[in-house]
Structure 1
Amino acid sequence: MNKKTIVEYDIMEVCLLAGKIMLQSGAETYRVEDTMMRIAASYGIKQSHSYVTPTGIIFSIETDEPTKTKLIRISERTTDLKKVTMVNSISRRISVGELTVDEAYQQLKEIESSNLTFPFSIQVAAAAIASGCFLIMFEGEWHDFIAAIISGGLGFLSLIYFHQLVPIKFFAEFLASFVIGMLSFVFVYMGVGNELDKIIIGSVMPLVPGLLITNAVRDLMAGHLVSGLSKGAEAFLTAFAIGSGIAIVFTFL
């Protein structure tokens, strides 16, 4: 393997790592493909191809030698738009020639290993406050505000706990919505809340896959039918799990 071939494989590793971070952090499929090809072009690769799905990335470059292709699997996906922004920033610096291949790879590895999410307590507090605000937005009463805050906060806490306990995404969302339904019913039964439906609607909003639905529509509009349909199916199953948890509560109560 000559020196030129080694450099080409290094460029592929940079492109794949950038795409992996973006896809795992909630970026749209077309944005991931565009970023990978721009990075390759900036390092002198005249022709590159990328095929991205929610569960994998295939990337190839065409040179004077036989085409080189690599595949990586994506098993975990979350929402971390800060990492997406940081990768885009590195991509722009590569485009203007500020970073070598090794420097770009090291910075991407640092981004991959970093934990940029807010502390656990802040996430739960934000979900709780958002639940109360959604209650008011859906024309609920201020009397139900505290009930929605508690139900939403504990529901989001349940989501994180159940996901760590059993790493099955839809199972955790089903149980979290069930907890929200039970808490909302208890608050109404005790007289702390009045409108059961408004409390439930406000409390489940932090669980709704809004970014996933948005990305599914944007991918479909960009012509990425496989990714758009798969993300849409994931969003549908998530919404179905949330609705099923609430339906169980109404069925038995």
Structure 2
Amino acid sequence: MTSTVMEQPLHSYHLIAQTCLLAGKIILQNGGETYRVEDTMVRIAAAYGISDAQSYVTPTGILFAMDASVPTTRLIRISERLTNLRKVTLVNEISRRISQGKLEVSEAHRLLTEIDEQPYAYPVWLQVLVAAIASGCFLVMFGGRWHDFLAAVLAGGLGFGSVVLLHRLVPVKLFAEFVASLLLGIVTILLVKSGAASNIDTVIIASVMPLVPGLHITNAVRDLMAGHLVSGLSKGVEAFLTAFAIGAGMAAALSFY
């Protein structure tokens, strides 16, 4: 691996840029912070001899430029963002290996391409099951009665499963969250009226927790603290809209109670 830019062939510049952009895209699409994306891209470029690379990242796009001796500027748009922290961890591991000089650029690009193409996600049924059990645990943590445990499990699993299904049918996240919270609220009301649950407040609070955008709120605060004001504010607004959709759906359901 060479240490200066001038020693590298021209085609390697483009491969380095593609590797940096691919690493940044994977992190940004799967729940990583903005400052982590920029730092990872710059570190990878520096490890391959690009000492003055610059990156500008927002939640919807990445702009990356080489130094003055390499007139290469790339822009990619991020249209969909998920939560898959395992991919973020895998990219961080590859970035560390690159910084330690253990990976050539072609091999690093191949590994990142594999990470990008593989889902690395748990099956939907397991996600729904875990969300349901987590809802029951939240009920206990919030001081609910054990009599309501199964009701919280049922409502929480149904709500999370509805979000996943509706988001596949209608690619509008806010609509899916609104309808899912509406269904969750209606199911909880029916459970309380049928006697399967006694305290509607704790059941609703516990079952809605898997839908709360906790990661988006955390990333928004961390980006603001790191000085990325545009990304921090936009992620904060996204989290607020998600919370608003959940609250609006629950309020619509409770209006019938």
Q: Structure 1 length as normaliser, TM-score?
A: 0.97
2:93 aligned with 1:89? yes
Q: CA deviation at 1:252?
A: 2.7
* Distance in 2 of aligned mates of 1:131 and 1:28: 27
Question: RMSD across aligned C-alpha pairs, in angstroms?
Answer: 0.9
Pick the aligned partner of 1:41 from 46, 49, 74: 46
2:122 aligned with 1:118? yes
Residue of structure 2 equivalent to 1:127: 131
* Distance in 2 of aligned mates of 1:228 and 1:28: 9
Deviation readout 1:78-112 (Å, 9 max, x if unpaired): 11111111101111111111111110000000000
2:32 aligned with 1:51? no
Deviation readout 1:22-62 (Å, 9 max, x if unpaired): 00110000000000000000000010100001100000011
Q: Which amino acid aligns with 1:173?
A: E
Q: Which amino acid aligns with 1:60?
A: A
| SS at 1:46 equivalent | coil
* Distance in 2 of aligned mates of 1:202 and 1:72: 39
Residue of structure 2 equivalent to 1:21: 26
2:39 aligned with 1:61? no
How is 1:1-253 mapped onto 2 (pairs within 5 angstroms)?
A: 4-65=9-70, 67-253=71-257
> Which ranges of 4 or more aligned residues in structure 1 deviate by more than 4 Å?
none
Matched-pair identity in %: 60
* Distance in 2 of aligned mates of 1:64 and 1:129: 56
| SS at 1:148 equivalent | helix
Q: Which amino acid aligns with 1:231?
A: K
- For structure 2, the 5+ residue unaligned runs are 1-7
* Distance in 2 of aligned mates of 1:82 and 1:244: 32
Q: Structure 2 length as normaliser, TM-score?
A: 0.96
| SS at 1:252 equivalent | coil
Equivalent pairs counted in the alignment come to 250
| SS at 2:64 equivalent | strand
Q: CA deviation at 1:68?
A: 1.7
| SS at 1:47 equivalent | coil
Q: CA deviation at 1:169?
A: 0.4
* Distance in 1 of aligned mates of 2:100 and 2:224: 31
Deviation readout 1:98-152 (Å, 9 max, x if unpaired): 1111100000000001111111111010000000111111111111000000000
| SS at 2:120 equivalent | coil
* Distance in 1 of aligned mates of 2:94 and 2:234: 29
* Distance in 1 of aligned mates of 2:144 and 2:63: 48
Q: CA deviation at 1:70?
A: 0.6
Contact kept, 8 Å, 1:144 with 1:199, in 2: the verdict is yes
Contact kept, 8 Å, 1:45 with 1:63, in 2: the verdict is no
Q: CA deviation at 1:5?
A: 2.4
